[in-house]
Chain A
């Protein structure tokens, strides 16, 4: 008891030791020391969390570097140009079967293609050519049909654009442009 008083310790309620409950008098704690140890351990824990954050940043860089090293995706035939009606919409997969895309032919000379995955949470967008937009029904997101840019709702990034080439009357998907704007 006297040792505790000499160190100037004080219980959290601020009362002197004589007014503390019996369990505190029987088992006195050096409260400032207890606070010091608790904060020091919390600081150590925070420093330990700092390392995974740095490693995650490095991991993102490494993953991006490997993805870039894979090079361009191979071209894939989508459809014959004659089979795509003006004002029509065609669904296809590019660059793999897990990447649904939509092809539009708003007029005779224009072909547009976008990834069908909404850039918000990956729901499938549906075309609404009469409103000149693509609509995501999950959270009411809208994208412009002519550019893929987000117009309304939660999406903030444009739809990835699929680059197309007309090779002897056959439309090929040749690349994905992730941020076309």
Chain B
């Protein structure tokens, strides 16, 4: 049986998750700006790969949030 996490441990895990989520959101911002730039320039080839990458990023973030909600406070 797993020992319950201490408050310091949950706070450390939360900070790690927050850093990861922040990184992924920034990655999505970068993806969106570069996609719009390429699209405006007439390059359609990156649209769907970038959309898939952004969707995967969103799923990763929701998985991290789900894990966070399971943590005992």
Contact = CB atoms under 8 A, between A and B. Distances in A.
Interface string A27-69: 0000011011101101110110111011011101100100010
A68 B48 CA distance: 14
B10 A54 contact: no
Chain B binding surface SS class: helix
Which of A39, A47, A56 gathers the greatest number of chain B CB atoms within 10 Å?
Answer: A47
A42 to B, nearest CB: 7
Chain A binding surface SS class: helix
A36 to B, nearest CB: 5
Nearest to B22: A46
A36 B11 contact: yes
26 contacts: A36-B7, A36-B10, A36-B11, A37-B73, A39-B11, A39-B18, A40-B68, A43-B18, A43-B21, A46-B21, A46-B22, A46-B61, A50-B21, A50-B24, A50-B57, A50-B58, A53-B31, A54-B58, A58-B51, A60-B39, A61-B48, A64-B47, A177-B42, A178-B41, A178-B42, A179-B41
Interface of B: 7, 10-11, 14-15, 17-18, 21-22, 24-25, 28-29, 31-32, 35-36, 39-44, 47-48, 50-51, 54-55, 57-58, 61-62, 64-65, 68, 73
Interface of A: 32-33, 35-37, 39-40, 42-44, 46-47, 49-51, 53-54, 56-58, 60-61, 64, 68, 119, 156-157, 160, 177-179
